[in-house]
Structures are given as C-alpha cells and as structure tokens.
Amino acid sequence: MNAAERLDLLDALPHRPPMLLIDRIVSVSPFEHASAEKDVTLDDPWFKGHFPGQPIFPGVLILEAMAQTACVLAAHSTRSDTGPRLPYLVGVDHARFRRLVQPGDRLDLSVRSLRAWGPFWRLSARAEVNGELAAEATLTATLAPAPTTFPVAAAPRHAPTATPTMPALLGAHDE
C-alpha cells in the first residue's frame, strides 16, 4: 500500500491496529457500494489463541471487517460540513459463515447499500476468498457525532459540543 492509499484508509476509518481489519480500499461508489481487502497473515495477533496449530480467522472479525468496509462507504458518502462522525454497528442479521479463512488468504470484502434513512444504513455484506463465499450478512449501521475528546474529532473544522446519548445514537431526537 502506498502512502496516499494508507492516508485514505486512515481518514475513512476511526479504527487503528490491531482493530484495523482492512488493508486496502479497492473501490467506492458513494451511496452505492464499496470493496476492500484484508491480507490474512500468521502475524495477526488473534492466531496465537484461535487456534494454536490450526489458525482460523475468527468469524466475528470477518463481520467486523465487513462493517469496516461499510464505514468506508459511509465516509465517502457523507457531507464533510456535518462535523466529525463515528460509525456504530447496530445490527447484524442473516450472518452465515461458508468457508474457513486462514493465514495466506486474502479476504475480499464488499458492501452494497440496500437502504438509507436518516443517519442509518442497511447494507448487504460479503467476504470472499479466491471468489469463494466465506461469509455474508445484512448489516445495520449509523453515524453519530463524534465525542469532542475522540482523536478523530480533533482535526475537523466543526466538532459537536457534547457526547451523544444512546437514544441520540439510535435516532431519537435530542432533548
């Protein structure tokens, strides 16, 4: 990955290692779809315990990588004048794991927007290895104002004045 690609990835996601589960943004069509890649290596920290002698990329981390790909789509689809936003995964439906993912595999991740309403997104997500389906799910996510103390919130021109409450995160009107 070159420096510009790395900066684009870090600008699109609030995640940092070891929870940054995308290595490259492959393509983005705002409001429609995004694709990304994750190179699965034996150096990934979870393989020390999942499972010694038979390393398998945890299914929950495949879901997280798909959710991070959804974050990339959201980051490229929202207006910059709304202030810093943080993505939150609020639902996972119909998750299915079809194939083991192991060191040496490249996880090809894709998300497609099914519906957007207010700050919420409903997305179809897929993870493949060599064209073979590894996992799929329907994700629901939202974007909420970032707390002013969050590191990503330091750089933008306009930061929110307070940390959002859970009802605000879930779409209820502020008091």
Task: Give the residue with greater pLDDT, 5 vs 84.
Answer: 84
Whether pTM exceeds 0.95: no
The confidence score (pLDDT) of residue 168 equals 43
Instruction: Average the pLDDT over 165-171 and give the result.
Output: 42
Pick the residue with more confidence: 154 or 151?
151
Mean pLDDT of the chain: 83
Q: CA–CA distance from 126 to each of 11, 153, 172 (Å)? A: 23, 30, 30
Q: Check whether 14 has a pLDDT greater than 90.
A: no
At residue 5 the predicted structure's pLDDT band, cuts being 50, 70 and 90, is low
Residue 152's pLDDT band, with cuts at 50, 70 and 90, is low
163 or 24, higher pLDDT? 24
> For position 49, what pLDDT does the model report?
92
**Orientation angle between helical segments 3-12 and 59-75, nearest 10 degrees:** 90
| Residue 50 a catalytic site member | yes
Model pLDDT, residue 13? 83
Which of 22-26, 56-60, 111-115, 144-148 is predicted least confidently?
144-148
How far apart are alpha carbons 151 and 153 in whole angstroms? 5
Longest dimension (CA), the chain: 54
The 10s digit of each residue's pLDDT in 58-89 is: 999 999 999 999 999 988 888 666 677 888 99
The DSSP line for the chain is --HHHHHHHHHH----TTS---SEEEEEETTTEEEEEEE--TTSGGGGTS-TTS----HHHHHHHHHHHHHHHHHTTS-GGG--EEEEEEEEEEEEE-S---TT-EEEEEEEEEEEETTEEEEEEEEEETTEEEEEEEEEEEEEEPPTTSGGGGSSS---SSPPPHHHHTTPPP-
pLDDT-based confidence at 145, cuts 50/70/90? confident
More confidently predicted of 9 and 137: 137
Percent of the chain with pLDDT over 90: 59
Q: Which of 15, 33, 50, 76 is catalytic?
A: 50
Residue 145, number of CB atoms within 10 A of its CB: 22
